[in-house]
């Protein structure tokens, strides 16, 4: 199982050329993208990708990361935008594998106040750092899990399960095709385990 699936871990600030190169090398029949229908439509319409705007913590976090990326001449979400446009331009079938953004927002709103306040404090710290600062994904996840266990469950574990389930559904229907899935690096290890990779 999982032999026809290749997960590619990306950084949401990668340059378009880097992402295209990764996909090109794999020559996929199908590209899986860590997006939902809402975000796909927003990218294709050149609209704001974040339906939450400034509403609530998720909206604030997304806006902050986006504007920080812009300040440093980067495009937040460039990996998924590139994968989407690449699939269209090269006429490659695509599938969206992420949980709907409104569902993620709903989960975010259920995170206990204490954890939300912790996130708000982290956001203030984040503002002082360069967005390109190297981070160890594993370390970040361990830290997130120990400090914000409920947020971790909602935003990482539940999404990983959702993503893995979507990938398995595609794989079962397309066993003879090569499927390349573009995922944020933080999801790759667990999703790989879940799909039996």
Task: Take residue 135 and report the two structure tokens written for it.
Answer: 């981070």
DSSP letter at 2 equals -
Return contacts of 147-154, CB within 8 angstroms, 24+ apart.
147/118, 148/111, 148/115, 148/118, 148/119, 150/111, 150/112, 150/115, 151/108, 151/111, 151/115, 151/119, 154/107, 154/108, 154/110, 154/111
Query: Coil, strand, or helix at residue 133?
Result: coil
Stretch 55-69: mean pLDDT: 79
Q: What's the whole-model pTM score?
A: 0.89
Q: Is the pLDDT of residue 123 over 90?
A: no
Query: Coil, strand, or helix at residue 131?
Result: coil
Q: Per residue in 153-173, pLDDT tens?
A: 988 999 999 999 999 999 999
C-alpha dihedral (156, 44, 53, 165), degrees to nearest 10: -20
Contact 177, 30 (CB under 8 A): yes
pLDDT band at 30 (very low <50, low <70, confident <90, very high): very high
Query: How many Å apart are CA 121 and CA 118, to the nearest integer?
Result: 5
Q: Per residue in 102-122, pLDDT tens?
A: 899 889 889 999 999 998 888
Q: Give the pLDDT confidence score for residue 171 in this predicted structure.
A: 94
pLDDT band at 63 (very low <50, low <70, confident <90, very high): confident
pLDDT band at 2 (very low <50, low <70, confident <90, very high): very low
Task: Take residue 99 and report the two structure tokens written for it.
Answer: 């949980």
Please report which residue ranges of the chain form alpha helices under DSSP H. Answer: 16-26, 37-44, 56-71, 78-89, 101-109, 113-126, 137-147, 149-152, 158-173, 185-194
pLDDT band at 197 (very low <50, low <70, confident <90, very high): confident
* Mean pLDDT value across the chain: 88
How many Å from the N-terminal Cα to the C-terminal Cα in the chain? 7
């Amino acid at each position: 199982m999982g032999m026809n699936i290749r997960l590619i871990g990306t950084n949401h600030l990668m340059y378009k050329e880097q992402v295209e190169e990764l996909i090109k090398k794999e020559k996929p029949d199908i590209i899986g993208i860590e997006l939902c229908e809402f975000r796909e439509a927003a990218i294709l319409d050149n609209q704001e990708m974040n339906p939450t705007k400034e509403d609530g913590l998720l909206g604030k976090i997304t806006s902050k990361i986006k504007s920080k990326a812009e300040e440093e001449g980067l495009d937040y979400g460039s990996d998924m935008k590139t994968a989407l446009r690449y699939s269209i331009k090269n006429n490659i079938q695509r599938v969206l594998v992420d949980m709907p953004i409104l569902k993620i927002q709903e989960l975010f709103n259920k995170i206990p106040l204490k954890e939300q306040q912790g996130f708000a404090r982290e956001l203030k710290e984040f503002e002082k750092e360069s967005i390109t600062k190297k981070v160890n994904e594993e370390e970040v996840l361990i830290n997130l899990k120990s400090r914000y266990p409920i947020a971790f469950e909602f935003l990482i574990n539940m999404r990983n399960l959702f993503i893995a389930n979507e990938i398995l559904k595609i794989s079962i229907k397309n066993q003879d095709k090569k499927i390349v899935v573009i995922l944020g690096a933080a999801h790759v290890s667990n999703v790989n385990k879940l799909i039996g990779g």
